[in-house]
Chains A and B, each alone.
Chain A
Amino acid sequence: MPPKLSAADVVTLIDEANRAARRLHRKLHLPPADLEDLSQDLLLDLICRLPGFDARRGSIGAFANIVLRNQSSRIAMQIQRERRAQDGWMFSLDAPMAGSREPLKNLLLEEDALASWYGQRPFGIDMHHDRLATNCVLARLRDDERQLCRALSQFTASDLVAGSVFKRSSLYRRIAALRPVLTAYGLGPCWDDFGTP
């Protein structure tokens, strides 16, 4: 027979589950979006095991802690097993690919991006629009701004800093100053993106 729980007990269970989820999430280096799922999985398992709770043997918090720890171990082992099965681990876009000095982000095509995986192919008309907007804005930029754009089109910001072409702070300040200019000429976020009617 399931034990009767007070509102305070329910709060304790939820808090413990959330805490265990955060701990597991941090240890496994999981993406931020997985935290909510972890929390719910742990809480569900805990609720399923509540009939085994005996108040004479300890508090509900202690019971929850033991159950969550065991379930966390099971989830961790499952994730490790999946990673081994996939022959690899999650790695940073900044990490160089095997056999290449280029980081992964420099080698990925637009078609490989997440949007394309969900069926959002880049449209030709958008590309033409961007190209025309680029022509418009390049015609209006100052020489030093144009040179900065050219450098950024050929090298990453990290490369420019590493090559002592720019100081890091100076480079990012100039990029920040350039952003509104490019946006005003159509190369930037759209007005609708801000949700400001």
Chain B
Amino acid sequence: MTTATITTIRPKGPLTEIQFCAWVAQAMPGDRLEYHRGFLVLDTFHGLSKLGDNERNELRLLGTRAFWTEAQGLVHLVQERLGPDLFSYLAIARPKTRSSADAVTQLAALAA
């Protein structure tokens, strides 16, 4: 019986949209990334969020991009409740789709 250790990457600072995409590109299936901690809907809502305009806009782009990657079949999106109004938003990398897998196979053949 084999056991797998799942570790979640928790960036020290706020993540940007492009950083999130870079993680998606290199993540192995099962890799987990905490892309936000808080209450995403409220944190991106003008008037309720404690974030500044730029940070709030960056977080909105990040949230939208996370949904996009989920729709593209690149990641699963889940939430873990940490406390009242406090969630850990996680992206879990999915196995590469057919064409991506083909690309990796070709790459391995070239490297050999």
| Chain A nearest CB, measured from B103 CB (Å) | 4
Contacts known (A191-B23, A193-B22); A184 close to B74, Cβ less than 8 A: yes
Q: Contact at B74–A196, with CB atoms within 8 Å? A: no
Q: Contact at B103–A188, with CB atoms within 8 Å? A: no
Q: Would you list which residues of chain B between 66 and 109 have a CB under 8 Å from chain A? A: 69, 72, 74, 99-100, 103-104, 106-107
Q: Quick check: is B49 within 8 A (CB to CB) of the other chain?
A: no
Q: Quick check: is B8 within 8 A (CB to CB) of the other chain?
A: no
Contacts known (A140-B72, A191-B23, A196-B12); A183 close to B18, Cβ less than 8 A: yes
Q: Quick check: is B25 within 8 A (CB to CB) of the other chain?
A: yes
Q: Contact at B25–A196, with CB atoms within 8 Å? A: no
Of A133, A140, A190, which is within 8 A of B22 by CB?
A190
| Chain B nearest CB, measured from A10 CB (Å) | 38
Q: Quick check: is B58 within 8 A (CB to CB) of the other chain?
A: no
The tally of residues in B whose CB lies under 8 Å from a CB in A reads 28
- How would you classify the secondary structure of chain A's contact residues: helix, strand, loop or mixed? helix
The residue in chain A whose Cβ has the minimal distance to the Cβ of B27 is A191
Q: Quick check: is A106 within 8 A (CB to CB) of the other chain?
A: no
The tally of residues in A whose CB lies under 8 Å from a CB in B reads 24
Query: What 0/1 pattern do residues 8 to 28 of B give for CB contact below 8 A with A?
Result: 010111010111111111110
A19-27, A68-76, A124-132: which lies at the interface:
A124-132
Interface hub of A132, A179, A180, A190 (most chain B Cβ within 10 A):
A180
- How would you classify the secondary structure of chain B's contact residues: helix, strand, loop or mixed? helix
| Chain A nearest CB, measured from B96 CB (Å) | 9
Q: Contact at A184–B15, with CB atoms within 8 Å? A: no
Contacts known (A125-B111, A128-B107, A133-B103); A190 close to B26, Cβ less than 8 A: yes
Q: Contact at B9–A197, with CB atoms within 8 Å? A: yes
Q: Quick check: is B56 within 8 A (CB to CB) of the other chain?
A: no
- Residues from chain A with a CB closer than 8 A to the CB of B24 are 184
Q: List 30 A-B contacts (CB under 8 A).
A: A128-B107, A128-B110, A129-B107, A132-B103, A132-B104, A132-B106, A133-B103, A135-B99, A136-B103, A139-B99, A179-B18, A180-B18, A180-B20, A180-B21, A183-B22, A183-B25, A184-B24, A184-B25, A184-B65, A185-B25, A186-B25, A188-B18, A189-B18, A190-B26, A191-B19, A191-B23, A191-B25, A194-B19, A194-B22, A197-B11
